[in-house]
Amino acid sequence: MVVLNRIYTRTGDNGSTALGNGERRPKFDVRVEAYGTVDETNAILGLVRLHTGSPKDAKIDAMLARIQNDLFDLGADLCTPDSGQKLDYEPLRIIEAQATRLEQEIDDLNAALSPLRSFVLPGGSAAAAFLHQARTVSRRAERLMVQLAQQPGESVGAPALKYINRLSDFLFVASRFMNNNGAGDVLWVPGKNR
- Residue 127 near residue 51 (C-beta atoms within 8 A): yes
Nearest to residue 167, comparing CAs of 74, 62, 85, 48? 74
All residue ranges of the chain with pLDDT < 70 are 1-8, 11-12
Question: Looking at residue 3, what is its pLDDT?
Answer: 65
Question: Looking at residue 57, what is its pLDDT?
Answer: 96
Question: Looking at residue 162, what is its pLDDT?
Answer: 98
Task: Report the number of secondary-structure helices (H) and strands (E) in the chain.
Answer: 5, 4
Question: Looking at residue 89, what is its pLDDT?
Answer: 84
How many whole angstroms from its chain centre is CA 151?
22
- Predicted confidence (pLDDT) per residue in 162-175, tens digit: 999 999 999 999 99
Q: Which CATH superfamily is domain 24-81+97-111+120-183 in?
A: Cobalamin adenosyltransferase-like (1.20.1200.10)
pTM: 0.92
Question: Looking at residue 73, what is its pLDDT?
Answer: 98
* Burial annotation 13-40 (CB, 10 A radius, 16+ → b, else e): eeeebebbeeeeeeeebbbbbbbbbbbb
